Amino acid sequence: MPDDSIAARMNAFVEDLQQRLCRRLEDEDGAATFRRDEWTREEGGGGTTAVIEGGDLFEKGGVNTSAVHGELPERMAEALGDEEHDVEPAPFFATGLSLILHPRSPYVPTAHANFRHFTLGDDRTDPDDQWFGGGADLTPYYPFLEDVQHFHRTWKAACDRHPAVADYEAFKEKCDDYFYLPHREEARGVGGIFYDYVRAEPEAALAFSKDAGEHFTEAYLPIVKRRRRTDWGQRERAF
């Protein structure tokens, strides 16, 4: 009988999304392709690292997936718990996709995103606990207001489609807090959304996570297309 659990469907989604993102980003670059490396974890599970470098558009980037499982150590269980949820040592399964893109042109922003799911319990179809996390953020070196507005509008629209799960203003504030650099008293980049320990109704939370993952290219690539042909030299790159 096939595994129709939330965990299995999230894992299938991130693996498929990785393939589609790599193809789309290769098409945008036009010169470089992703090099893939499959790895295994001794304690259980593994993943695929996909790296692109030396391209016309992307100097370096990665789109990586993982699906790992095992016994959650007590120290990690304590770290994952909070005032509302006690987390006990138990079998776990975690899957997700993370990406980072460093363009060659200083006028094209760096982007980061990740989408993940964590399950606790012996039975993934009826877990003791599960939650989603993820987000996306943008780091421009030469900020343009229309780019920042486009990036945030896209994520707000994604959140607004799932009001039972996602609160754009709360997710935006968490992102701002997460990427604030206190020693420099400034933010890293222009933000985006960040969420963790989302324990909404599982089907609804999965739908939001998939919608968010699908819309990374909508949030990012129009900015890339708008800025990649802007002339630049060593002075702009060293800024």
Q: Which CATH number is 138's domain given?
A: 3.40.1500.10
Tell me the β-bridge partners of 137: 112, 192
- Backbone phi and psi for residue 197, each to the nearest 5 degrees, phi listed first: 50, 40
The mean pLDDT of the chain is 92
- Backbone phi and psi for residue 61, each to the nearest 5 degrees, phi listed first: -165, 165
Distance CA 196, CA 15 (A): 21
Distance CA 98, CA 83 (A): 28
Which residue in 89, 42, 41, 43 sits closest to 66, CA to CA?
41
Q: Is pLDDT larger for residue 6 or for residue 238?
A: 6
Mean pLDDT confidence for 12-35 = 98
Domain span at residue 178 reads 6-237
Say if CB 145 and CB 97 are below 8 A apart. Answer: no
Domain count, the chain: 1
Q: Is residue 1 part of a domain?
A: no
Residues designated catalytic:
112
Q: How far is CA 65 from CA 6, 10, 228, in A?
A: 17, 11, 27
Mean pLDDT confidence for 40-49 = 96
Mean pLDDT confidence for 217-232 = 96
Mean pLDDT confidence for 85-95 = 85
Tens-place pLDDT, residues 149-203: 999 999 999 999 999 999 999 999 999 987 766 666 556 789 999 999 999 999 9
pLDDT surpassing 90 at residue 75: no
Mean pLDDT confidence for 129-135 = 96
Give me the pLDDT at residue 1, please: 44
Distance CA 98, CA 123 (A): 26
